[in-house]
Amino acid sequence: MNKKIKDAKVQEEDNLIHIKFEPDEAIIAKRDFLITEMNLLKIAKIIQRYKQLRIQELKTKIKLQKNFTDIHQDINRLKRILPKIEIPKILQKEEPQPPKEIVETKEIVKKKYSDDIERQLEEIQKKLLTLQ
C-alpha cells in the first residue's frame, strides 16, 4: 500500500510545471491579483449593504401594512358607531381643492460595514503601495 502512495507522489511531482517570471512580471501579476482581490471585497461590501437595505425595506413594508390594517379597522369601527348624517343639497358645497404638494424625504442611512472587509481592503492597499 505504501508503494502505491509513493508512486502516486512521484507521478504528481513529474506532472508539475514550473514557470519562471521576471521580477517585473511577478510584481505586475501580484499587483493585479491584489487589485482583483480588493475589487472582490468591495463587491462583497456592496452585497452586504444591499442585504441590510433589503431587510430594512421589508421591515418597513410590514410595518406599513400593519398600519394600513389598523387604520382600515378604525374606519370601519367609526362607520358602525357614528350615526349617518344627511346634509341637505342646499348646504352642500363643492369647494375646489388646491393641488396637494408632494414632499419627498430621503432618509440618510449610516454606513455600517463589516470591519473585517474594511481591514482586508486596507491591508491590500498597503501591499499595493509597497509594490509600487
Taking alpha carbons only, the member of 10, 4, 14, 27 closest to residue 131 is: 27
All residue ranges of the chain with pLDDT < 50 are 109-110
d(CA 129, CA 35): 11
Residues 111-115: contacts with CB under 8 Å, at least 24 apart: 111/49, 112/52, 113/45, 113/48, 113/49, 114/45, 114/48
Helices (H) and strands (E) in the chain, counts: 3, 0
The residues, ordered by sequence, that sit 6+ positions from 74 with a Cβ below 8 Å of its Cβ are none
Q: Model's pTM, two decimal places? A: 0.48
Q: What is the pLDDT of residue 110?
A: 47
Taking alpha carbons only, the member of 37, 29, 32, 28 closest to residue 120 is: 37
Taking alpha carbons only, the member of 10, 45, 39, 20 closest to residue 118 is: 45
Q: What is the pLDDT of residue 102?
A: 67
